[in-house]
Amino acid sequence: MMMRGDITSSTDVLSLTHVPSLSRRDPWARLGFATIAFVCIAIWAVTRSFNAPETFAVSGTIQDLGDSIPVKVPDGAKVSRLLVRNGDRVSAGQPLAHIDDADIRRDFEVASTRVTDLLISEQRILAQRDKTQSLTLPAGIDLTDPATAKLFSEHRDKLAKSLASASEEKASLRDMLKRTQSEAADVAKQLAARLKERDLNERELANSQPLFERSSVNRLRFGQLERESIRIGTDIAKLRAETAKIKATRADLEARLAHADIDISQSAVPELDRVRDLLMDATEARNNLAARLELSKILSPTSGVVRGIKDIDESVRKSPDPELMRISSGNETIVIEATIASNQVGKLHVGEIVSVEFASSANGQTDTVRVPISEIGAAHAKSPTSSAISAVPIKISIPHSQIQNLEKEPRWPADKSVKIVFGSRSTPTLAEVTRPLGDGLAFVFDAVSPGTPLATDQFRH
């Protein structure tokens, strides 16, 4: 039997190029491997019981995210919705969150409705000025919006009523002119009759004058002719005055009828100017609100990776801390600080491996990173007058290479709090010790084909 292996010390990987089965040819070899496994496990258990450090945990705080830029919430604003998650890679200018803009959006909708109303009003007044029966839809107005369609319908009805009113007014002027002309004809007939009557009376009076002087006609008859002449003269004067009045009325009606269209066009000018001034002011107000809506998005100040998003629940929105998140380069070194109780100080040293657990906001699980203690600070005294040690600060640095697997999921602690476990797996576990033996026992108990690689995981210290 030939067994050939290659052990690489730098990676602690055991690989075989060809292992023939021993379980069928040499049962004594199988017993030997089992004995070796039992002895190794026993040695590991005894060593573990005497040398394993006591496991304890403390809370740590991320004090420095390294090369990162804070993203702050504008003064007085409230974040309504996040658009990114922790670990997302963003570009400069990319929206990161929406600010609560309900009031601004409501004002913007009112201003937009006002602008639409004035735009349609402008077209309505132009149609009135030009005596156009149809109302033109202004550019940029969408009639699929029910509110806009209602406004357009109201202005169209208003235009129809205005044109109908103007038409009725012109028809009324024509009727009045006809009546005036008829009255003028009647008065002219009456005047002609009175003039004829006056001529007859004057002739009779002229003929009766000599007879009256010779007493051939009595006083009563002559006086009756004189009174009739006076009455006829009075009627003629009244009819002539009425004729003049009718002529003046007819001239006025004819002038009003002739200038009716011109008056309608001229009367639309001041109303059109007033609407256009209002439209200018309303458009400016709407544009200002639109600009404020654009500012309701918090944009990324630079390209990088999203870190440390704060919770935006209602209880946290009004927090005085304006920082919402940070944008890092993605190559940062995270510095974590923690304080160790005085009774644990003697069990720690720089370079000792600890487990740093990051809570996952997505599923409640944790991500664990194994890193060494980078710094142990000076001890804190219990009080200024006491020399007794109460706690010792430590620092742990985590390079980017060990956290890059956390970038794509929302697992970065929003409150910058982490859990540090000491003494946990600072030495190889039973599974790590026995796994090579298990792989080795495969040489005895399992038949493998030539060229099958059998590898072990690297010890993590």
The DSSP annotation for 74-94 comes to PTT--EEEE---TT-EE-TT-
**Is 80 exceeded by the pLDDT of residue 281?**
yes
Angstrom distances, CA of residue 379 to CA of 104, 387, 428: 54, 10, 30
Which CATH code, of 3.30.70, 1.10.3470, 1.10.287, 1.10.760, is assigned to 104-295?
1.10.287
* Helices and strands (H and E) in the chain: how many: 7, 17
**Is 70 exceeded by the pLDDT of residue 327?**
yes
Residue 284 confidence (pLDDT)? 93
Q: Within 10 A of 396 (CB to CB), how many other CB atoms are there?
A: 21
CB hemisphere CA count around 67 (13 angstroms): 11
Residue 430 confidence (pLDDT)? 47
- Which of 75-79, 208-212, 411-415 tops mean pLDDT? 75-79
Average pLDDT over residues 205-230: 71
Higher pLDDT, 154 or 459: 154
Instruction: Report how far residue 416's alpha carbon sits from residue 323's, in angstroms, rounded to the nearest whole number.
Output: 12
Residue 249 confidence (pLDDT)? 86
User: Per residue in 233-276, pLDDT tens?
Assistant: 888 888 888 888 888 888 888 777 777 666 667 777 788 889 88
**Do the domains at 56-65+332-424 and 68-100+297-325 have one common CATH topology?**
no
DSSP 97-109: EEE--HHHHHHHH
**Is 90 exceeded by the pLDDT of residue 159?**
no
User: Per residue in 394-445, pLDDT tens?
Assistant: 888 887 667 666 544 444 554 566 777 776 544 444 444 444 444 444 444 4
**Is 60 exceeded by the pLDDT of residue 360?**
no
Lowest mean pLDDT among 51-60, 70-79, 128-137: 51-60
Average pLDDT over residues 98-123: 88
pTM attached to this predicted model: 0.41
Amino acid making up residue 30: R
Higher pLDDT, 52 or 100: 100
Instruction: Report how far residue 202's alpha carbon sits from residue 208's, in angstroms, rounded to the nearest whole number.
Output: 10
Query: Has domain 56-65+332-424 been given CATH number 3.30.450.20?
Result: no
**Given pLDDT bands bounded at 50, 70 and 90, which one contains residue 114?**
very high
Angstrom distances, CA of residue 194 to CA of 23, 187, 198, 213, 241: 155, 10, 6, 28, 14
Higher pLDDT, 461 or 99: 99
DSSP 240-293: HHHHHHHHHHHHHHHHHHHTHHHHHHHHHHHHHHHHHHHHHHHHHHHHHHHHHH
Residue-range domain boundaries for the chain: 56-65+332-424, 68-100+297-325, 104-295
Cα Rg for the chain, rounded, in angstroms? 54
Instruction: Report how far residue 411's alpha carbon sits from residue 334's, in angstroms, rounded to the nearest whole number.
Output: 14
Angstrom distances, CA of residue 387 to CA of 345, 382, 383, 393: 16, 7, 8, 16
As a whole-number percent, the residues of the chain with pLDDT over 90 amount to 5
**Given pLDDT bands bounded at 50, 70 and 90, which one contains residue 218?**
low
Instruction: Give the CATH class of 68-100+297-325.
Output: mainly beta
